[in-house]
Amino acid sequence: MATPGAEEDMLARYRSPLVSRYASAEMAFNFSERKKFGTWRRLWLYLAQAEKSLGLPITDEQIQEMEANLDNIDFKMAAEEEKKLRHDVMAHVHTFAHCCPKAAAIIHLGATSCYVGDNTDLIVLRDGFNLLLPKLARVISRLANFAEKYADLPTLGFTHYQAYIVTGQTYSRKVDIEVLSVLASLGASIHKICTDIRLLANLKEIEEPFEKEQIGSSAMPYKRNPMRSERCCSLARHLMTLVLDPLQTASVQWFERTLDDSANRRVCLAEAFLTADIILSTLQNISEGLVVYPKVIERRIRQELPFMATENIIMAMVKAGGNRQDCHEKIRVLSQQAAAVVKQEGGDNDLITRVHADPYFSPIHGHLESLLDPSSFTGRAPQQVAKFLKEEVRPALMPYQSKMGGKIELAL
């Protein structure tokens, strides 16, 4: 049997009819591989331009080379690199570097995979809404014209004169969707918060309140299960599913109303508010009694910091004249060796000892101590917290200060 060509190979795979038959060319492109990876390259260009403006050793020639190859993507090479490296971002770093030999040393410098991944996702979502909103506006405009044309035409209808400007016998059941969507979103946020607390409790870095005589396990006396967080997660999952009820109810309202909505609404609306009330009360109890164990955190940082410092080491080496991709490979090998000591032998992380012993890193041997300073890894986090509290959180809480039992101080 002959080996199928690229086109035949594509025909042998499932293709979503959403794209092949129905989607607009613009929206299909928005979620395409070419848009995705072309955006990655533009983000790498913006990164290099920003780093150059901040004084990093990046030349105009390197910038121009990247600009000239933004859409020159060898997808076959990228696929082969990803198959070998098992890492999509690094596969495209190497593919971009192949056509930008002068800029190869600084592509993706100081960045994580999420720099291109998450930012591209957000750009694609934004562009997707930019495609949808004009279409929605056109539909609304056409319906408005239709309503205006036939506004005086008498038709049979049933209305009980609700508060809303335009309504049938009942208020639009889309209101229920909006209400439960907000509560479902609250459930998702609380689930995320409490899941993180449970994970941190497992690491013994943070614990929720634990009563003096509370029992964590009938079999294991030492256990301090985060039972409040577990309860929040369990109930939050129920809260998140309730939004499906009003979605289905609103979708099957015949003309102005069908009576099959009442029993469902009696359950889902009340249960959503009851569940939200329970988990908020529980989360308040958790938040008022969280305990942090700095010594445990410090010990874990010491064990992991050498791995975390690898990007700083790469940055320092590039600043000293090294090649980012070459340095990445050197660090990757040494990191795997150090990880083997930790995982297979139960030993301490000896990555920095290995870096000290490798002459390749001699240009930065004298800077390793400063590169390993934990405070250098927090970035703008403290300032971001203060700004977020001042500009977002505190103003949002102001209308409720009388119900919270005290004055709300604005963060400086």
Active-site annotation, residues: 160, 217
Environment class of 124 (CB within 10 Å of its CB; exposed 0-12, middle 13-18, buried 19+): middle
Tokens of 376: 């250098």
The pairs formed by 230-233 with CB atoms below 8 angstroms and a separation of 24 or more are 230/194, 230/198, 231/279, 231/282, 232/190, 232/191, 232/193, 232/194, 232/279, 232/282, 232/283, 232/286, 233/191, 233/194, 233/195, 233/198
Query: How far apart, in whole angstroms, are the C-alpha atoms of residue 243 and residue 185?
Result: 10
Maximum separation of any 2 CA atoms in the chain, in Å: 89
Mind spelling out the 3-state secondary structure of 70-82? CCCCCHHHHHHHH
User: In 194-230, which positions are buried (b, 16+ CB within 10 angstroms) versus exposed (e)?
Assistant: bbebbebbeeebbbbebeeeeeeeeeeeeeebbebbb
For residue 291, the cross-strand partners are: 207
Per-residue tokens: 362 = 């001699």
At 291, is the secondary structure helix, strand, or coil? strand
229 backbone dihedrals φ, ψ, rounded to 5°: -65, -40
R_g of the chain computed on alpha carbons: 29
Phi, psi at 258, each rounded to 5°: -125, 145
Spatial separation of the C-alpha atoms in residues 130 and 43, rounded to whole Å: 20
Q: Say which DSSP state 292 is in.
A: E
Task: Kindly give the residue spans of alpha helices, DSSP state H, lying in 60-104.
Answer: 60-67, 75-85, 88-99
Q: ∠ CA(393), CA(399), CA(404), 5° rounding?
A: 80
| CA nearest neighbour of 313 among 349, 273, 358 | 358
